[in-house]
Amino acid sequence: MNSGALAGKKIVITGVTGQVARPLAVALARDNEVFGAARFTDQTARAALEASGVHCVAIDLAAGEVADLPADADYVLNFAVAKSNDWEADLAANSGGVAYLMEHHRHAQAFLHCSSTAVYKPAGHHVFAEDGPLGDNHGVWPFLRTYSICKIAAEGTARWAAQRFALPTTIARLSVPYGDGGGWPAIHLHMMLSGNAIPVHVDAPSVYHPLHADDILAMVPRLLNVASVPATTVNWGGSEAVSIEEWCTYLAELTGIEATFEPTSHTIDSVQIDTTRMHELVGETTVPWREGMKRMAKALHPDKVK
Ligand SMILES: NC(=O)c1ccc[n+]([C@@H]2O[C@H](COP(=O)([O-])OP(=O)(O)OC[C@H]3O[C@@H](n4cnc5c(N)ncnc54)[C@H](OP(=O)(O)O)[C@@H]3O)[C@@H](O)[C@H]2O)c1
């Protein structure tokens, strides 16, 4: 990844040890002063980030402990998410935490809040535009019962804080992020290599918009550019709609195994998004999904990819 269009800026990235923010922070740190924030429950990740030039700052969004972050940052990218499955703790970190963070950074040039397409209420193969109906999408998974509701609550808080602090804000509803470091398709590949069937919704196919880490990096500066008051809300996924069935079949072909599926109603349903607003505001994605997933498979399982 190269660092995109941002250079010479002071940037705060929360959730920096996470799947999405970590490669982003490392890439942005090449040309910017990057402050990566998390509780750092993973100290190994902290050491690796510091070795890559990211200044690590311990915060706890649930407790509102953000004072050590530089209040004069130009941009703030909020990729932190709490998924403890405890309602009080997760609402405090995800919704209250955004309020503390935006208050602390109210003088920033722009604030990017990463949301999720998990905010949409599943409706078969409905294609969701940004004004689509919201609801408990991920509650069908017992291990993520707080997720969708907390992501919706966090959006409400981000909207309020954008107005309250006159802080230009973008709320980007992320679909399926993936890259050489992992992601949902990587989990599927690991499951298939371990001989497991892939759960898919009975209402096939299960369609999403996988978004490669390179496109995430390329789009972040543009998402900051369109930050506004009131907040801009935009879907954020790959320009290509792809189903789990398609990407698993392709990953199985690459690794010479067979993809098997287990249709069930106890998994999340399709969330296909309308990318019209995204294309208007920040353009199309550039990494074709097959190319991105081949790179991912090679990076994670070099001995398995033909
Ligand atoms: N991964 C996906 O498939 C996906 C799909 C759609 C949308 N998204 C969204 O993308 C964003 C990034 O997701 P991700 O998958 O990269 O997350 P992740 O891997 O689960 O990482 C979560 C990050 O948040 C930090 N965190 C958790 N609780 C915290 C707290 N109380 N205070 C401060 N930091 C805290 C974690 O570090 P500590 O535990 O050390 O604090 C970690 O750095 C989130 O907004 C998520 O909802 C992800």
| Percent of the chain residues topping a pLDDT of 70 | 99
User: What is the distance in A from the centroid of ligand 1 to the CA of 88?
Assistant: 17
Look at the alpha carbons of 214, 303, 191, 40 in this order and tell me if their dihedral is positive or negative: negative
Give the position, in ligand 1's atom list, of the atom nearest the Cα of 175: 6
Could you tell me the CA-to-CA distances from 100 to 38, 144, 166, 192, 279 in Å, in that order? Answer: 14, 24, 15, 42, 31
User: CA 52, CA 27: separation in Å to the nearest integer?
Assistant: 9
Phi first, then psi, for residue 200 (nearest 5°) are -135, 155
pLDDT above 60: residue 245: yes
How high is the pLDDT of residue 243? Answer: 98
CA 133–ligand 1 middle distance (angstroms): 24
Please state the rounded mean pLDDT for residues 61-77: 98
The counts of H helices and E strands in the chain are: 10, 16
What integer is the mean pLDDT of 101-110? 98
94 CA from centroid of ligand 1 (Å)? 10
Average pLDDT over residues 150-161: 98
* 55: β partners: 35
pLDDT reported for residue 306: 81
Question: pLDDT value at position 278?
Answer: 98
Of the listed ranges 104-118, 133-147, 154-168, the one predicted with least confidence: 133-147
Ligand 1 atom with minimal separation from the 59 CA = 33
Please give the angle made by the CA atoms of 200, 272 and 219, to the nearest 5 degrees: 120
For residue 203, pLDDT beyond 70: yes
CA 235 to centroid of ligand 1, rounded, Å: 18
The tens digit of pLDDT for each residue in 36-56 reads: 999 999 999 999 999 999 999
Q: List residues near ligand 1 (CB under 6 A).
A: 14-21, 38-42, 59-62, 79-83, 93, 114, 116, 151, 174, 176-177, 183-184
Residue having the nearest C-alpha atom to atom 19 of ligand 1 = 18
Task: Give the mean pLDDT of the chain.
Answer: 96
Is the pLDDT score of 153 beyond 80?
A: yes
Q: What is the mean pLDDT of residues 275-296?
A: 98
- The pLDDT tens digits of the residues spanning 160-200 come to 999 999 999 999 999 999 999 999 999 999 999 999 999 99
